[in-house]
Chain A
Amino acid sequence: MTKGRSLKIALAVLWAVAVMVLAGFAFKLLKEFSHPPGRRASVQAPVPPPDMKERAVKLYFMDEDAAGLVAEKRSVDLGAGGAVDGAAIISELIKGPESGDHFASIPPGVRLLSAYELGDTLILDFTRELQTNHPGGSAGELATVYSIVNTVTENLRGINKVQILIEGEETETLAGHIDIRRPLSPDTKWMTARFHEKPED
């Protein structure tokens, strides 16, 4: 074995190491890009999505009088399980209402980062725009919070509560009024009397 040969092999090894490390980093970057840290548990569908079916869901939006929530029916592909289904429903809610009489309950620019299921609670992690783009006022804040909570709990079997997170963190309020530090159950008490018991269709 000559000196030149061993040098060549050493170089080859070095090159291989460099390639592997770079590939490793590239993979890590790619991984973080597709699933940023803290959102990894997000909405990856379990292998392979079982029994996906288009289903009718009820989405709650702001009514024209700030008196409660109003429902619109939509078709959403569901069946992948709580968190994935929850994310699909919220994505539809973010799109806003179809009726001209209803108002979007989620401020513009908001994205859902991930959805987690923990027991009977669905944890929804939103981008900061849910706070920063919120116009404020108790009426609007109540509509935002409960359009999310009431929509999710009504459409997902086994989910009774929703915890809203902002970029992975628990938050006191969206706009300075309504307590969202803990998981919320659906509520219609804040609406005017005609919405009590169950929000209207």
Chain B
Amino acid sequence: MKKCAVACMRFLEKSAALTVFLAFGLIFSPFPSAFAEAPPSSAFADERVSLPEAARGLDVTTHWKPAEGKLLLTRENHCAEILIGAKHARIDGHLLTLATPVVAANDAVTMSLADATALFSRLLGRTVTAKEISTGLLATPRIERDERSRIEGVRHVSYPDFTRLVINLSKSGNVGDVKLKHIEGAAALEIDFPKTGVGQAAAPIEVGDRFIKRIEVGRTGSGASVIVRTNVDDFEYETQKYDEPARIVVDVKPAAPGVLADLRASAHLPVQSGAWADQEPEIARGTTPFTTVVIDPGHGGKDHGAGGRGGLLEKDVTLSIALKLKERLEAAGVRVTLTRSDDSFVSLRGRTVIANRAKNGAPADLFISIHTNSHVSPSVGGFEAYYVSDAVDPGAEATAALENAVVNLEDTDGPEETSVASILWDLQYAEFIADSSALAFITQEELGKRLDTRDRGVRQARFIVLSGVAMPSVLVEVGFISNRSEESRLKTEDFKNKCAECLEAAVTTFKERYEAKLGLVNQESSP
């Protein structure tokens, strides 16, 4: 009897332990969720795995950023950012808390097996088991490390005069011997990377713009090649290579008539040797006439913008001024596209897409975003003009972040979004900032001539809508809707007409300067 009781007690203890274990299992569920958390204590918490090796076993690409003490793991369009010594990782921008920090020792970056399961589950979007990681490690030959550079992706940006391809590589080494050649008898350019791998097999990229039909990335015997199918047999190309991130930039355009052009197009031009530049070449704009302006009435639909104490809404004021400005500009012979022409909601990205296609599918010549300001203090008033900030971090990290954004958009949102993100990325190199600055000062001056409110000056800030448009742009805050007297002015047709008049004058002045510059360029280039 006693024996039996002891046995029963043991059984009871065991089931209790099992229950506690199960209950904990519930609490510390290792399944991926929006913010998955690694099991803090479990059977495999102590076991550590080499991250790059685990990644290889799961077909995840590893990028090293030694200067930043960072490891990037990428798979398709997902990216995990791992910081050595940190207890957090970032996956597609979300944070993952780790049970133990990531450690770099003896040439290996390791993470607890428990953390690794959570990490890879999130990255791959499925439940990755500890066993799978361990098996992957065994299956992967540890010594045969692939030290070659790989083609990570190809982007394109369509400009009025040419199409730019950006071929991203996993690292900058060993790409000096890239060869470009015009495939004989075909409308195609072959870019040969003799010692380079291909990150992922990808379907041909259908470009379908004025110059390029399609881009095909493939493996060759020991390397990789990118074949660019063009619309015309006779084309020219220019190539540059850059670091951080490592990339080859190829601009393709139809050949200019002439012997020199023919020679250039048929020559086998190697990639320019020398140091990796840190800036991409200037885009040659200013060769097409100024015809099209995009007017962006701020906010709209469910987004009311700022509101006045008397009930006036920013979205109504901005639309009214935009419609008046459109009428004036059209009367003056300028083509106008509105990002919205009624009280509908248009996303900020949607606005930039409209602007970047407004001129026969290409970016317009000018972008004006109209807003009304607001401040907690009801006495603050006046008008200001903003242009896009160049305070965007110029470092590799920002570039890489934007590159990721491009990849994400390419894979999820279709070609429209791609061009925006690509253009946004290119904008980091400050192409339109000088023009935008000039435009902002012209606009502020014109507003100052006709409005009797306070001139608050020209400013520069990271406006999302301005950073996405590939053209000179300005954002005007015509007045403070939070200021009682300005709110009542903003209600009047007279004030709104004056605003439209100022903006029309600014466009005209800018257009004249643009055309003068264009004329000058043409004179200089003629012999």
CB under 8 Å from chain A, chain B span 369-406: 371-377, 379-380, 384, 386, 389, 391, 393, 398, 401
Contact A103 B376 (CB under 8 A): yes
Contact indicator B12/A185 (Cβ below 8 Å): no
Decide: A136 and B464 in contact? CB cutoff 8 A: no
Tell me if A119 counts as interface (CB < 8 A to partner B). yes
Determine how close the nearest CB of chain B comes to the CB of A142; give it in whole angstroms.
Answer: 6
Interface membership of chain A positions 150-190, coded 1 if the CB is closer than 8 angstroms to chain B and 0 otherwise: 00000000000100000010101101111101101101011
| Number of B residues, CB within 8 Å of A | 71
Partner of B348, one of A38, A39, A104, A173: A173
**Residue B306 CB within 8 A of the other chain:** yes
The stretch of A19-27, A52-60, A69-77, A85-93 in contact with B is A19-27
Whether B463 and A137, one on each chain, are in contact in the complex, defined by CB atoms closer than 8 angstroms, is no
**Cβ of B35 and Cβ of A177 under 8 Å apart?**
no
Counting from the closest, the 9 A-B pairs by CB-CB distance are A24-B23, A137-B374, A136-B306, A38-B35, A20-B19, A179-B464, A190-B461, A41-B97, A137-B373
Docked Cα-Cα span, A62 to B391, in Å, equals 21
If A135-B482, A179-B463 are given as contacts, then 10 extra A-B residue pairs at C-beta distance below 8 Å, sorted by A number, are A20-B19, A20-B20, A40-B97, A64-B379, A66-B377, A118-B88, A137-B314, A139-B480, A172-B464, A179-B467
Stretch among B46-54, B297-305, B358-366, B444-452 lining the A interface: B297-305
- Closest residue of B by beta carbon distance from A118: B88
Select B27's contact among A24, A39, A41, beta carbons within 8 Å: A24
Question: Shortest CB–CB separation between residue B335 and chain A, in angstroms?
Answer: 27
Could you say which of A31, A140, A172 contacts B375, with CB atoms under 8 Å apart?
A: A140
A40 contact set on B, CB distance < 8 A: 35, 37, 97
Q: State the CA gap A133–B203 with chains docked (Å).
A: 46
- From residue 284 to 315 of chain B, which have CB atoms closer than 8 A to chain A? 298-299, 303-307, 314
Asked if B373 and A139 sit within 8 Å, CB to CB, the answer is: yes
Contact (Cβ within 8 A) A142 B401? no
Considering only CB atoms and an 8 Å cut-off, how many residues of chain A contact the other chain?
A: 58
Q: Return chain B residues, CB-CB under 8 Å to A9.
A: 8, 11-12
B105 in the interface (beta carbon within 8 A)? no
Q: A178 and B374: CB pair below 8 A? A: no
Residues A24 and B20 in contact, CB atoms below 8 Å apart: yes
Q: In the complex, are the beta carbons of A189 and B461 less than 8 A apart?
A: yes
Q: Is A17 an interface residue (CB 8 A)?
A: yes
The interface bits of chain A over 88-123 (1 if a CB of B lies within 8 angstroms of the residue's CB, else 0) are: 000000000000000110000000000011110001
Chain A residue at minimal CB-CB distance from B476? A138
Chain A contacts for B19, CB-based, 8 A: 16-17, 20-21, 24
Contacts of B371 in A (CB 8 A): 137-138, 177
Contact B26 A119 (CB under 8 A): no
Contact A62 B35 (CB under 8 A): no
Which of B22, B88, B459 sits near A21, CB closer than 8 Å? B22
Instruction: Please determine whether B480 and A137 come into contact, CB atoms closer than 8 angstroms.
Output: yes
Q: Report whether B380 and A24 are in contact in the complex, using a CB–CB cutoff of 8 Å.
A: no
Q: A24-B23, A66-B380, A190-B459 are in contact. Are A139 and B374 (CB under 8 A)?
A: yes
Q: List residues of B whose CB falls within 8 A of some A CB.
A: 1, 4, 8, 11-12, 15-16, 19-20, 22-24, 26-27, 33-35, 37, 68-70, 81, 83, 86-88, 90, 93-95, 97, 298-299, 303-307, 314, 348, 371-377, 379-380, 384, 386, 389, 391, 393, 398, 401, 456-457, 459-465, 467, 475, 477, 480-482
11 CB-based A-B contacts, threshold 8 Å: A17-B15, A20-B19, A24-B22, A41-B95, A119-B83, A135-B306, A179-B464, A179-B467, A184-B462, A187-B389, A187-B461
Q: In the bound complex, do residue A103 and residue B467 qualify as a contact, i.e. CB atoms below 8 Å apart?
A: no
| A37 at interface by CB-CB < 8 Å | yes
**Whole-angstrom distance from the CB of A82 to the nearest CB of chain B?**
11
A185–B391 contact, CB under 8 A? yes
* Contacting pair B377 A64 (CB below 8 A): yes
Q: Is the CB of B33 within 8 A of A37?
A: yes
Q: Are A138 and B88 within 8 A (Cβ)? A: no
| Residues A190 and B460 in contact, CB atoms below 8 Å apart | yes
Please report the C-alpha to C-alpha distance between residue A161 and residue B401 in the assembled complex, in whole angstroms.
14
Q: Which residues of A contact B298 (CB under 8 A)?
A: 176
**How far apart sit A120 and B430, CA to CA, in the bound complex (Å)?**
25
Q: Which of B314, B386, B475 contacts A136 (CB 8 A)?
A: B314
Q: For residue B94, which residues in chain A have a CB less than 8 angstroms away from its CB?
A: 168
Nearest opposing residue in chain A for B96, CB measure: A41
Please measure, in the bound complex, the distance between the C-alpha atom of A170 and the C-alpha atom of B401, giving whole angstroms: 13
Complex alpha-carbon distance, A86 and B299, angstroms: 33
Closest A residue to B424 by beta carbon equals A179
Nearest CB in chain A to that of B98: its residue: A41
Q: Which residues on A sit within 8 Å (CB–CB) of B462? A: 178-179, 184, 187
The distance from the CB of B202 to the nearest CB of chain A, in whole angstroms, is 26
Per the bound structure, the CA–CA distance linking A189 and B517 in Å amounts to 29
**A177/B376 in contact, CB under 8 A:** no
- Chain A neighbourhood of B11, CB < 8 A: 9, 13
Flag if A178 contacts B4 (CB, 8 Å): no
